[in-house]
């Protein structure tokens, strides 16, 4: 079954790069949807069944950690894999994201291979 | 202008900028760039036909970081980042350069946090235009590190000032 993926990042450049990386993976990809912040992302998730989320942390309106908390608070979204992709590299931020329920954490700058490996690992663990 | 010096030397700041900028270029663009000699007293900068991206950070030390280069180099960098071709500076190029600043300055603040304490990053501001000047409030100096990229100059600058609650527990 094709997997709909949501990319959450306020940078159109990063959304474009991740879109391209996703197209290079061997997962059965459905639609790739985009949101510019956590508020937009929650609205997308209310209207579509999402199978994987790639999210930045530093964003306006609602940041990635607040968004992650909202996702995990809803039982029907609780098992959706969420991978954080961010410039935030401090141990505190990583631990915070993991404790809130992130399955993966990739620091920018990243290679396509790092993203692909993290996606495979998260989807394989389901 | 503040006389309080940050607990990190200009050499250390320049070294962190050099390493992180090279890491961003090699990882995201497949380009190797090496830092040239830095200027620890850079103040007013005349910009003409340049793309300048500014990112602020706050914490016990406040400051800002910037990246700058010519329009054609910004197009070349953005083209490699987004795997597209750009002949003029457009929204895609400005956004790509904003993300380059976010990564370079963001990685700097994580590395510098060991000396400066935890810092929070602002949202990048990207400027493109002719015949303008950039300077810091109150004449504070930048530490400016030049790089050679595709035969052109790419510059990364950092300015640090103590915050009012620097000694707060």
pLDDT tens digits for range B33-46: 989 999 998 887 78
Contact A4, A31 (CB under 8 A): yes
Question: Taking 50 as the threshold, does the pLDDT of residue B169 lie above it?
Answer: no
Mean pLDDT of the B117-137 span: 89
Beta strands in B60-167 (DSSP E): 61-70, 119-121, 125-129, 132-134, 142-149, 152-162
Q: What is the mean pLDDT of chain B?
A: 91
- Looking at this predicted complex, what is its ipTM? 0.90
Mean pLDDT of the B106-129 span: 92
Q: What is the pLDDT of residue A125?
A: 64
Determine the distance from the C-alpha atom of residue B39 to the mean position of all C-alpha atoms in its chain, rounded to a whole number: 14
Which residues of chain A lie closer than 8 angstroms to B24, CB-CB? Answer: 109
Closest to A8 measured CA to CA, from A78, A58, A47:
A58
In SS3 terms, B140-161 reads as CCEEEEEEEECCEEEEEEEEEE
For every residue of B17-46, DSSP letters joined together read HHHHHHHHIIIII-----B---EEEE--EE
Residue B56 φ/ψ, nearest 5 degrees? -95, 155
pLDDT along chain A (126 residues), means of 10: 94 96 91 98 97 95 96 96 93 93 96 95 81
Interface A–B counts its CB contacts (< 8 A) at: 53
Contact: B102, A109; criterion CB under 8 Å: no
Cα dist. B102→A80, A98, A100, B55 in Å?
Answer: 28, 23, 24, 7
Cα three-residue angle B125-B130-B136, rounded to 5 degrees? 50
Task: Tell me the two tokens of residue B127.
Answer: 């400027």
Question: Taking 60 as the threshold, does the pLDDT of residue B4 lie above it?
Answer: yes
Mean pLDDT of the B155-169 span: 78
Contact: B102, A11; criterion CB under 8 Å: yes
Q: Which residues, 6 or more positions from A95, have their beta carbon under 8 angstroms from its beta carbon?
A: none
Interchain CB contact of B56 with A (< 8 Å): no
Nearest by CB to residue A12, choosing from B28, B95, B121, is B95
Mean pLDDT of the B100-125 span: 92
Which residues of chain B lie closer than 8 angstroms to A89, CB-CB? Answer: 106-107, 110
Interchain CB contact of B33 with A (< 8 Å): no
Torsion B23-A81-A12-B124 (CA) sign = negative
Q: What is the pLDDT of residue A70?
A: 97
- Tell me: the pLDDT tens digits for B32-91? 998 999 999 888 778 889 999 999 999 989 989 999 999 999 999 999 999 999 999 999
Q: Which residues of B137-162 are buried (b: 16+ CB within 10 A; e: fewer)?
A: eeeebbbbbbbebeeeebbbbbbbbb
Contact: B118, A88; criterion CB under 8 Å: no
Contact: A109, B24; criterion CB under 8 Å: yes
**pLDDT exceeding 70 applies to what percent of chain A?**
98
Q: What is the pTM of this model?
A: 0.92
Nearest by CB to residue B23, choosing from A13, A58, A109, is A109
Q: What is the pLDDT of residue B166?
A: 58
Mean pLDDT of the B103-114 span: 93
Instruction: Tell me which of B168 and B121 has the higher pLDDT.
Output: B121
Nearest by CB to residue A14, choosing from B24, B99, B121, is B99
Cα dist. A15→A11, A12, B64, B129 in Å?
Answer: 6, 5, 25, 26
Q: Residue A44, CB half-sphere, CA atoms under 13 Å: how many?
A: 21
**Closest chain A residue by Cα to residue B21:** A109
Nearest by CB to residue A87, choosing from B83, B98, B106, is B106
Interchain CB contact of B115 with A (< 8 Å): no
């Amino acid at each position: 079954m094709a997997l709909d993926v949501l990319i959450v990042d306020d940078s159109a450049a990063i959304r474009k790069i991740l879109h391209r990386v996703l197209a290079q993976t061997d997962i059965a990809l459905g639609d790739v949807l985009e949101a510019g912040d956590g508020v937009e992302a929650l609205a997308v998730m209310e209207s579509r069944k999402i199978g994987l989320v790639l999210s930045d942390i530093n964003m306006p309106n609602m940041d990635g950690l607040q968004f992650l908390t909202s996702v995990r608070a809803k039982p029907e979204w609780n098992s959706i894999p969420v991978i954080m992709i961010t410039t935030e590299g401090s141990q505190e931020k990583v631990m915070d994201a993991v404790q809130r329920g992130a399955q993966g954490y990739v620091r920018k700058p990243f290679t396509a291979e790092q993203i692909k490996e993290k996606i495979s690992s998260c989807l394989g663990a389901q | 202008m503040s006389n309080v010096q940050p607990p990190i030397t200009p050499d250390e700041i320049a070294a962190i900028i050099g390493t992180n900028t090279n890491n961003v270029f090699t990882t995201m663009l497949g380009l190797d760039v090496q830092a040239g000699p830095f200027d620890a007293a850079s103040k007013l900068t005349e910009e003409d036909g340049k793309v300048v991206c500014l990112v602020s950070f706050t914490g016990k030390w406040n400051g800002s970081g910037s990246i700058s280069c010519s329009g054609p180099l910004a197009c070349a960098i953005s083209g490699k980042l987004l795997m597209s071709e750009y002949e003029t500076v457009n929204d895609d190029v400005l956004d790509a350069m904003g993300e380059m600043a976010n990564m370079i300055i963001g990685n700097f603040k994580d590395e510098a946090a060991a000396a400066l304490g935890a810092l929070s990053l602002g949202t990048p501001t990207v400027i493109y235009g002719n015949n303008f000047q950039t300077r810091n409030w109150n004449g504070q100096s930048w530490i400016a590190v030049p790089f050679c990229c595709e035969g052109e100059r790419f510059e990364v600058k950092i300015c640090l000032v103590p915050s009012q609650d620097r000694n707060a527990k």
